[in-house]
Amino acid sequence: MKSIQSVTFILLFITQLGFAQSKKEKLEQLFEFYNQQNLFNGAVFISEKGETLLNKGYGFSNVDLKKENNANSIFQIYSITKTFTATVILKLVEEKKLSLQDKLSKFYPDYPYASAISIESLLTHTSGVYEYTRGNDMKDQTEKSFIEFQKTKPLDFPVGTDWSYSNSGYYFLGYVIQKVTGISYEKAVEKYIFKPLKMKQSGFAFKNLKSKNKVTGYEIFSEKEQKPSIVYDPPMPFAAGGIYSTVEDLNKYYNGLKNYKIISKKSLEKAYTPFKNNYGYGWITKKMFGKMTVGHSGYGAGFCSNFVQIPEDDICIILLTNTERGLDTATYAIMKTLYNLYNKDYKIPIVANISSETLKQYAGTYQVENNFVVYLTVENNKLKLQSGNGPTTILYPVKENLFYAEELMGDVIFERNETSQIESLNFHVGKELKKAKKIFPSWGIVGTATEKGWEGPDAKLMETETKGIWTIKNVTLKTGELKFRFNDDWTLNFGKDRSDGIMPKGNNIEILTGVYDITLDITDYEKPKYKIFKKS
């Protein structure tokens, strides 16, 4: 194996955030690091007990115009919208215009399952209503078309027996708000939240917004390529994700909530109380570093967002980005930096300069235990670890075969066999050493067009002599939809993008009945290609 080209260690800023520095300096250095590593492009706001620790933009709001993000940049916040929808619902309950136990039959008597579905079950994702995003773009959606669509679909599970994140549930809530208030959902949010809190840079219909602070969202945002994303036509994505805002406006929202300017203390405490799967009334609760956090994230075309509160310490963390890159790593690093303030050590990683080609040697699938695997991919010259629905972890190269994993708070060590091929990796979970052996599963196709449907198992593709090109020949498909999936697992999957190609976690690909040859080309993982040839 070639030695790592110019294994030059770059100490970015400082290796340890010293206690002599102010909190503001520590966080500023952290985000300078993330911006230089191309891991964060957006705006950030962090406060503690009313003191602003960081309020700044990083990177470009528009690459072509060389326009930079700032604290007033306006982003789509997507699913953080659900917290606004839930807050308006609770306000209507306080005004005795609605009850959490009211059934949908009060508003939609013709919907088959309406008598079983309560407002509370919609708030908590326990209603089982069919997720409209499955195989339905709903481009020209209206209240009528949404209800008619839902009438044709079964529940995913009996009401209250399970939990499943549901955009459809929050669409129902938006329409209920309209029926109860007699005004549009958007006007109701403006009346109950935006106006009282003076959130003047927040609103709906991002596509129609005319503002110098409006940013461009990017579907692809790498050092090599930047591709703007689509912008949804209003009212999409409605009460499940239709709001745009700024970090400063969301801080006004935070202060309005904590000071009970919108809903009462009793209602807020109820909203923050987990119902199932750590989800309350529109809010996600979880422990990080021994602290209970309350918040919500948002993800969609061109944008990603995270809004986190630590109520016991009056800490507010707001991250908005105009890329589709997740914010788990940045949020985790903020928490670790804040924990440094509580006398816990945190170091900005030391990063070696390693080429993308060298990083690809470490990519692959590693089996930790019988039913637990992790996937390593190289994207934007970064080695990334993914597993199930967990956060994506960046592995920072320290030297040959040694990487640092921020979320694991430790090292990942790769082992090679006698022919210098990577065969396993080691890492710690707490004090326990875990070893993961490299395995070689395959890509497949899954969906209603295949014999086994969405439940799988997948129809397997075979890798050709050209590494990274997978094929299946003479496969019989029926009219329906499919996606490419790796290892019978949704962690890595490809679907149709907004043009003629495919992208990670893209839309379903429509198929007509026939016999097909199908090829998936991931020789460049960041630019996957596919061909579907109908033979008969």
pTM: 0.77
Q: 351-439, which class in CATH?
A: mainly beta
Contact of 112 with 149, CB cutoff 8 Å: no
Statement: 78-338 belongs to CATH 3.40.710.10:
yes
**What does CATH list as the number for 443-534?**
2.60.40.3620
pLDDT digits (tens, 9 = 90+) for 109-160: 999 999 999 999 999 999 999 988 765 555 668 999 999 999 999 999 999 9
Quote the tokens at residue 482.
């499919």
Structure-token match 């230089």, residue found: 36
Report the 3 state secondary structure along 214-253.
ECCCEEEECCCCEEECCCCCCCCCHHHHCCEECHHHHHHH
Report the 3 state secondary structure along 271-305.
HHCCCECCECCCCEEEEECCEEEEEEEEEECCEEE
Distances (CA, A) of 300 to 50, 133, 296, 521: 31, 12, 14, 25
pLDDT digits (tens, 9 = 90+) for 274-317: 999 999 999 999 988 888 999 999 999 899 999 999 999 999 99
User: What is the block-wise mean pLDDT of the chain (536 residues), using blocks of 10 residues?
Assistant: 29 38 84 86 96 97 96 98 99 98 97 97 96 68 91 93 95 98 98 98 97 95 86 93 98 98 98 95 91 94 96 96 87 80 56 85 88 86 79 84 77 92 85 87 94 90 93 96 92 81 83 96 88 95
Structure-token match 């919108």, residue found: 262
- Closest to 207 (Cα-Cα) out of 185, 228, 178, 227: 228
Q: Could you state, in order of their start, the residue ranges of all structural domains in the chain?
A: 78-338, 351-439, 443-534
CA angle (217, 223, 229) in 5-degree steps: 20
Quote the tokens at residue 184.
């549009």
- Closest to 315 (Cα-Cα) out of 263, 245, 254, 250: 254
- Closest to 89 (Cα-Cα) out of 184, 181, 201, 223: 181
